């Protein structure tokens, strides 16, 4: 799939109608898009520039753009719930996922975070993704392969239990670890053993009990910095002159993000000091 330039066969294209409804198609010569507003032939779209408008046989106009990653993530088939874009973006930045990084991920789920990580590590990085369920791993591989147009050479998806993984299984230590699983506290000893000193560890949990158990588990190991946790809430606004107001619906709680860094071997974290009460 091309990322820019005129539309080509094989491109994933999003059609947007006057009511801002989205329709996705993969361009194929001779194929047709059918709707209650008429027919659009793929051959009409092939060769057009992004941002163009195509008209159906019944006179309906559709705005044309290539699928973005966020569009693919929210519309792709899934076995497990995906990490939503608002959280993936923070994982990439707060986790400092850099080009050339070796990243360990578990579980792979439906592959949404895997796609973001693969883009961030670039052509010289490596992403090792563990998933304990075969059906979820199948979804992840299918979604990632479809988005990139094939299996990225930098991706190593594996079926297995992270609690049983050693640094030798990974071919050496990793720069970053990102977890999205039901009981991430069970994997903290593995994270300690495979993460380089100074490496960033992040985990994604949905509930308060999970949040508490991970935070306390990190503190008990005495080999990480004091962990921090947060959530992000996204609210769109409707801007129409004097009727400008926040939308009634919003992307509120999806999960908590937890962040910590690995200390050097033999170093224990300084004891946090609390402000004295007045």
Q: What is the CATH number of the domain that holds 116?
A: 3.40.50.150
Give yes or no: residues 193 and 241 share one domain: yes
Whether residue 269 is contained in a domain is answered as: no
* Closest C-alpha among 93, 85, 136 to residue 113: 85
pLDDT at 54: 96
Instruction: Choose the final residue of a domain: 21, 50, 67.
Output: 67
pLDDT at 186: 97
Residue 169 assigned ligand-binding role? no
Give yes or no: residues 60 and 142 share one domain: no
pLDDT at 71: 86
Give yes or no: residues 56 and 84 share one domain: no
What CATH number is given to the structural domain containing 61?
Answer: 3.10.330.20
> 3-state DSSP: the chain helix, strand, coil percent, rounded to 5?
30, 30, 45
Whether residue 107 is contained in a domain is answered as: yes
Give yes or no: residues 86 and 140 share one domain: yes
* Closest C-alpha among 143, 186, 198, 194 to residue 161: 186
Give yes or no: residues 249 and 229 share one domain: yes
pLDDT at 1: 62
Whether residue 278 is contained in a domain is answered as: no
Per-residue pLDDT 10s for the chain (278 aa) are 667 889 999 888 999 999 989 998 999 999 999 999 999 999 999 999 999 999 999 999 999 999 888 888 888 888 888 898 999 999 999 999 999 999 999 988 899 999 999 999 999 999 999 999 999 999 999 999 988 889 999 999 999 999 999 999 999 999 999 999 999 999 999 999 999 999 999 999 999 999 999 999 999 999 999 999 999 999 999 999 988 999 988 878 899 999 999 999 989 888 777 776 66
Q: For 98, how many CA atoms within 13 A lie in the half-sphere containing its CB?
A: 6
Residue 35 assigned ligand-binding role? no
Q: How many folded domains does the chain comprise? A: 2
Q: In Å, how far are 173, 263, 274 from 269, measured between CA atoms?
A: 21, 8, 15
Q: 27: domain range?
A: 6-67
Residue 161 assigned ligand-binding role? yes
Residue 34 assigned ligand-binding role? no
β-pair partners for 38: 35
pLDDT at 144: 94
Give yes or no: residues 134 and 181 share one domain: yes
Residue 199 assigned ligand-binding role? no
User: Cβ contacts of residue 207 below 8 Å, gap of 6+?
Assistant: none
Give yes or no: residues 151 and 175 share one domain: yes
* Closest C-alpha among 134, 26, 108 to residue 72: 26
Whether residue 268 is contained in a domain is answered as: no
Give yes or no: residues 151 and 103 share one domain: yes
Residue 17 assigned ligand-binding role? no
Instruction: Give the strands of the sheet with 174-179, arranged side by side.
Output: 155-159, 126-131, 102-106, 174-179, 195-205, 256-261, 228-230
Residue 180 assigned ligand-binding role? yes
pLDDT at 276: 64
Give yes or no: residues 174 and 36 share one domain: no
Are 214 and 258 spatial neighbours (Cβ–Cβ below 8 Å)? yes
Whether residue 32 is contained in a domain is answered as: yes
pLDDT at 4: 82
Whether residue 45 is contained in a domain is answered as: yes
Give yes or no: residues 47 and 32 share one domain: yes
Residue 111 assigned ligand-binding role? yes
| Cα(81)–Cα(162) distance, integer angstroms | 19
Instruction: Choose the final residue of a domain: 18, 50, 67.
Output: 67
Whether residue 136 is contained in a domain is answered as: yes
Give yes or no: residues 158 and 50 share one domain: no
pLDDT at 250: 83
DSSP H helices, the chain, are: 42-45, 69-75, 85-94, 112-121, 134-148, 188-194, 208-221
Strands 126-131 and 102-106, by their bridges, are parallel
Model's pTM, two decimal places?
0.87
pLDDT at 278: 63
Give yes or no: residues 182 and 59 share one domain: no
């Amino acid at each position: 799939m091309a990322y820019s330039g005129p539309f080509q066969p094989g491109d994933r294209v999003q059609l947007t109608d006057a009511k801002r409804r989205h329709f996705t198609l993969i361009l194929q010569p001779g194929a047709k898009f059918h709707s209650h507003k008429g027919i659009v032939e793929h051959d009409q779209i092939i060769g057009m520039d992004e941002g163009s408008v195509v008209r159906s046989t019944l006179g309906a106009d559709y705005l044309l753009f290539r699928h973005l990653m966020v569009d693919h993530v929210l519309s792709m088939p899934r076995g497990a719930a995906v990490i939503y874009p608002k959280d993936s973006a923070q994982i990439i930045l707060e986790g400092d996922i850099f080009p050339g990084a070796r990243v360990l991920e578990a579980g792979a789920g439906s592959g949404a975070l895997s796609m973001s990580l693969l883009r961030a590590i670039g052509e010289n990085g490596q992403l090792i993704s563990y998933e304990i369920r075969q059906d979820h791993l199948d979804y992840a591989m299918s979604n990632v392969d479809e988005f990139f147009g094939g299996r990225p050479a930098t991706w190593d998806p594996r079926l297995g239990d992270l609690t049983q993984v050693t640094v030798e299984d990974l071919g050496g230590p990793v720069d970053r670890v990102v977890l999205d699983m039901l009981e991430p506290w069970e994997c903290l000893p593995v994270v300690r053993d495979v993460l380089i000193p100074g490496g960033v560890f992040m985990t994604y949990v949905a509930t308060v009990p999970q949040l508490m158990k991970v935070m306390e588990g990190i503190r008990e190991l005495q080999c990480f910095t004091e962990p921090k946790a947060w959530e992000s809430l996204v609210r769109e606004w409707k801007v129409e002159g004097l009727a400008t107001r926040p939308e009634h619906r919003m992307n509120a709680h999806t999960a908590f993000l937890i962040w910590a860094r690995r200390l050097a071997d033999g170093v224990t974290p300084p004891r946090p000091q609390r402000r004295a009460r007045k």
